[in-house]
Amino acid sequence: MAGRQSPPRRSPEYVWLITGTLTIITVVFSVILAHQHSGWYREWPAALMALPFFVLVGIGYRYVLIRRHGFVLNLIEIPLVLGFYFAPAVLVVVVSALAMLIKELRRNAAPDKLAFNVARASAGAASGGIALAILPPFEGTGPVTWVVLGIAVTINTLVSLFAVVAVMVTVESLQAGLEMLRVSWLGLLAAEVCIVIGLVFVIALDTTWWSAILLFVIAGVLTLAYTSYSDFLRQHHTLAELYELANAVVESGQDVTLVDSLLVRARALMQSEFATIRLPASGRHPEVMLTSKIEAQGLLDVSNTPLEVIQRATAERRSVAVGPKIDADRDLLPVLRAAKVKDCIVVPLRSGQAVIGTLEVINRLGDLKNFTLSDVQVVETIAAHAAAAVENSRLVERLRYDAYHDRLTSLPNRRRITDALTESVKIRTPGEVVAVILFDVDGLRDVNESMGHDAGDKLLTEVAVRLRKIAGAGALVGRIGGDEFVVTLRAESTEETVRLATEMREQLRGPMAVGTLTLDVDTAAGVAVQPDHGDDPDALLRRAELAANAAKALPYGVQLFHPALESRAVRRLGLAADLRRALDSGELEVHFQPKVTIQDRHLIGVECLARWQHPAHGEVSPEDFVAVAEHTGQLHRLTEVVLTAGLRHCREWADAGRPLSIAVNLSARTLLDPRFPDQVHELLKQYRVPPQQVTFEISEPSMLGEIERALPTLYRLRDLGVRLSVDDFGTGASSLSYLRQLPVHEVKIDDSFVQGMATDSGDLAIVRAVVGLSREFGLTVVAEGVESELTFDLLAEMGCEIGQGYFFSRPLPVERLNTWLSAQTEPEETPTGEVRRLRAVG
């Protein structure tokens, strides 16, 4: 995002207008003062002795920046008070001018700035001298003397201040001058304090010149104290800014203002003209180069950093600082001069051992200022925050991308398709329909069984490539299941949609090369359109899937949805009465799957899983009867049966001397019931089970859109003392936001990632990232779907705490679980008491 430059600065040559005016004032006022003190030049020895004091005091300063310019806070008012009291005013003007000239020559100031500063110092002193001439004469060191000298020196300070303001208004803008006046109270306050100190010196010297010895000691101490306090303020300011910068990074999170906030604050903290972040292209991430420049609105896509400096920092993976006050890398000074850069610091952004970019600060503002080695440490601290922010942002982007895309084909997944359909159906276009065409790949199971899953994956990838080519630019292609692909588009009519589906199916057909074999793959296509078949995206997808299943029996392989195809849903509803009877009669069983700590193989608990053996239909899948329970209002009763069975056996195990915690799945609908926490509380009291022995697992996908309504129940459950877990983590659309919003204690990684991590580097990276993020949030990590020793070892290596899966045991009825406990575990004493430890794993 490039920013718009602020109005261009006027040429520095305009400063000579101010310098000339100040010079005229100095000459005129000095002539008047010289005429008033005709013998002033005879006192030149005293002036010569005072000159070193003026120079010494002028060297100690605090530099205050306003945009590109700054002004100096120093102790010059002290020698001015002494000069105006003990010497002719015209002599004070000469000494002030000479002291400023020496100081400017010492720092090799540019001619225009040297002339301006000398003219400013002499004009201020001359104006103060005129004030002395106008004000009543003073005698002694009484209050009248204090007032007269105070007014004269204050006028000197004001003239100096307004001279700087005039330069800023002339070269920059009126706003810059007003900003200078706004912060000038600090300089005026310091000047008044110095005037008081000077008056004390006057009183002491007027009493006896021997007091000069003591005054010099006091002056040295004051100078040292002033310098130390100035350094302390600068360090405090740096720490405060670093704290604010870290907070800004955290608060920005993954917001688009992250880089903007970081760069602007880094540039302000380092008082540099430019601050640049540079990220080379990496994978899906494009190249990024953004610069915050003083006086520019927004960020720019340019950088003044010499390429040689950047190359050295990235090649040697170290900070490179080049400037007049930095001894390292001095061979790059000619490169800086050629690029018209005063000084710069380039720090590599690291992710582990890899360099992912650079943070660059260029041109320390102010002629008196340059970067030093201490500044390098500050930039390195900022770079560490920047690198962490970039890595987290990329990780979140990847997780979000994975949440919306199929890992195998990189096509949008069901959630992405559903979201796109939600937006499409909102727009009513006369004469058009929103079409959903679902393609079911025939024979994929045979390919997997005969040639392996790798061959099946290659087949699906080829189907995805072909479908993208034939769908057209206006269509969205996605994969919503193992062998199901969806195309959504706008068509002229339902009939046109069926014709398009037929053409796509014919183009998908034909030989596909899978390894050394060439397969003839066919598909079945189901069609649903909005508004004919509904406006709900999920319903359209479901009906397109029903139509695709029906199309498998047709010779032409394309089926338009009609209501009769929803027979399966009707059959599910037919199970409602049987499910109610099964719940009331105890026909529904609860099986238990062990949960084991990965590091020391301690059995810590079980997950309670409902199972139903139907008298007529045989084993009914949990997906079917849970859906029936949800649609018929029996879900609350189903949850109560499972929870009661779990608590009863939990009490039995505790009484037998082998306590185990239990985990029970909750649906979003259960969490919307405000009576549920009270029911849990009563059951916990009834079975005398400690709340911390119970974990409720909330399926992440089921929470989409319901999180705000479910939060009150979740907080009430947490207040009871039970543990809360996010189940199926990574399969929803907003995993990271849930970790921030939900009062959870545990994250359960979905088995689809865990099962593939031993062979799929993408799954391994996701599991590793989730474990790392969960640690950052202070959450326990449970990996479900542990089915091999290799997976077990990988999880142990990355620090995952708990595992669950067939590698330990499949879900078992309570009798078989008790037998398994006796056969596969043995007691072990730990600091927290006796636990059951697996004799062997695998």
Query: Is residue 743 within 8 Å of residue 724, measured between CB atoms?
Result: yes
List of E strands, 421-522: 433-441, 476-479, 484-491, 510-514, 517-521
Per-residue pLDDT, averaged over 553-559, amounts to 83
Query: Is residue 725 within 8 Å of residue 697, measured between CB atoms?
Result: yes
Rounded alpha-carbon distances, angstroms, from residue 786 to 748, 828, 831: 12, 24, 28
- What token pair was written down for 414? 């069901």
Q: What's the rounded Cα separation, in Å, for the pair 688 and 686?
A: 6
pLDDT at 680: 94
Per-residue pLDDT, averaged over 380-403, amounts to 80
How are beta strands 802-804 and 618-620 bridged, if at all?
unpaired
User: Would you list the DSSP string of 320-382?
Assistant: EEEBTTB-TTGGGHHHHHHTT-S-EEEEEEEETTEEEEEEEEEEESSTT----HHHHHHHHHH
pLDDT at 58: 61
How confident is residue 255, by pLDDT bands cut at 50, 70 and 90?
very low
pLDDT of 306 higher than 80: yes
For residue 648, give every residue at least 6 positions away whose Cβ sits within 8 Å of its Cβ, in sequence order, or none.
687
Residue given tokens 């600091």 in the structure block = 831
How confident is residue 815, by pLDDT bands cut at 50, 70 and 90?
very high
Q: What's the rounded Cα separation, in Å, for the pair 692 and 780?
A: 14
Compute φ and ψ for 673, nearest 5 degrees.
-90, 110
Compute φ and ψ for 319, nearest 5 degrees.
-75, 135
Residue given tokens 């009769």 in the structure block = 564
Compute φ and ψ for 552, nearest 5 degrees.
-65, -25
**Per-chain mean pLDDT for the chain:** 81
Range ranked top by mean pLDDT from 158-172, 299-313, 447-461:
299-313
Instruction: Say which residue, 119 or 732, is predicted with more confidence.
Output: 119
3-state per-residue secondary structure call for 592-611: EEEEEECCCCEEEEEEEEEE
Query: Is residue 548 within 8 Å of residue 559, measured between CB atoms?
Result: yes
pLDDT of 4 higher than 70: no
Q: Which of 583, 552, 550 is nearest to 568 (CA)?
A: 550
Compute φ and ψ for 294, nearest 5 degrees.
-60, 135
3 state DSSP class of 731: coil
pLDDT at 290: 86
pLDDT of 731 higher than 70: no
How are beta strands 694-699 and 558-560 bridged, if at all?
unpaired
Q: What's the rounded Cα separation, in Å, for the pair 609 and 605?
A: 13
pLDDT of 834 higher than 80: no
Residue given tokens 């994978």 in the structure block = 283
211-225, 474-488, 592-606: segment of lowest average pLDDT:
211-225
pLDDT at 265: 77
pLDDT at 64: 45
Percent of the chain with pLDDT over 90: 17
Q: Indicate the angle between helix axes 185-207 and 77-86, nearest 10 degrees.
A: 40
- Residues in a beta bridge with 558: 525
pLDDT of 41 higher than 50: yes
Q: How many helices (H) and strands (E) does the chain have?
A: 29, 27
Range ranked top by mean pLDDT from 26-40, 423-437, 701-715:
423-437
- What token pair was written down for 158? 């004001």
Per-residue pLDDT, averaged over 431-435, amounts to 87
**Residues 271-302 pLDDT 10s:** 788 888 888 887 777 778 888 887 677 788 78
pLDDT at 179: 72
How confident is residue 449, by pLDDT bands cut at 50, 70 and 90?
low
Rounded alpha-carbon distances, angstroms, from residue 512 to 163, 441, 523: 82, 13, 13
How are beta strands 296-297 and 320-322 bridged, if at all?
unpaired
Query: Is residue 386 within 8 Å of residue 378, measured between CB atoms?
Result: no
For residue 582, give every residue at least 6 positions away whose Cβ sits within 8 Å of its Cβ, in sequence order, or none.
588, 612, 614
Q: What's the rounded Cα separation, in Å, for the pair 521 and 510?
A: 6
Query: Is residue 352 within 8 Å of residue 212, measured between CB atoms?
Result: no
pLDDT of 99 higher than 70: yes
pLDDT at 66: 39
Instruction: Say which residue, 351 or 840, is predicted with more confidence.
Output: 351
Query: Is residue 575 within 8 Å of residue 557, measured between CB atoms?
Result: no
**For residue 743, which amino acid is it?**
P
Instruction: Say which residue, 233 or 122, is predicted with more confidence.
Output: 122
Can you give the length of the chain in residues?
842
pLDDT of 232 higher than 70: no
3 state DSSP class of 478: strand
Per-residue pLDDT, averaged over 331-359, amounts to 87
Q: To 5 degrees, how large is the angle CA 755–CA 760–CA 763?
A: 65
Rounded alpha-carbon distances, angstroms, from residue 98 to 21, 103, 125, 304: 19, 9, 12, 38
First to last CA, the chain: 55
- What token pair was written down for 704? 């989409």
- Residues in a beta bridge with 2: 299
- What token pair was written down for 760? 């799929």
pLDDT of 368 higher than 70: no
pLDDT of 240 higher than 70: no
Residue 428 backbone zone (phi > 0: left; psi -120 to 50: alpha; other: beta): beta
3 state DSSP class of 144: helix
pLDDT at 250: 62
List of E strands, 68-226: 69-74
Q: What's the rounded Cα separation, in Å, for the pair 604 and 825?
A: 11
pLDDT at 687: 93
Instruction: Say which residue, 489 or 214, is predicted with more confidence.
Output: 489
How confident is residue 256, by pLDDT bands cut at 50, 70 and 90?
very low
3 state DSSP class of 829: strand
Cβ atoms < 10 Å from Cβ of 782? 28
Q: Which of 317, 327, 328, 329 is nearest to 356 (CA)?
A: 317
- What token pair was written down for 49? 């002795």
Preceding omega of 137 cis (within 30 degrees of 0): no
How confident is residue 3, by pLDDT bands cut at 50, 70 and 90?
very low
- What token pair was written down for 585? 């009669």
Percent of the chain with pLDDT over 70: 83
Rounded alpha-carbon distances, angstroms, from residue 117 to 186, 188, 228, 370: 20, 18, 26, 20
Compute φ and ψ for 422, nearest 5 degrees.
-60, -40
Cβ atoms < 10 Å from Cβ of 457? 16
Per-residue pLDDT, averaged over 32-54, amounts to 71
- What token pair was written down for 452? 């392996």
How confident is residue 352, by pLDDT bands cut at 50, 70 and 90?
confident
Q: Which of 216, 71, 86, 70 is nearest to 149 (CA)?
A: 86
Instruction: Say which residue, 193 or 495, is predicted with more confidence.
Output: 495
Give the distance from CA 494 to its chain's centroid: 47
**Residues 685-698 pLDDT 10s:** 999 999 999 999 98
pLDDT of 63 higher than 50: no
Most distant pair of Cα atoms in the chain: their distance: 127
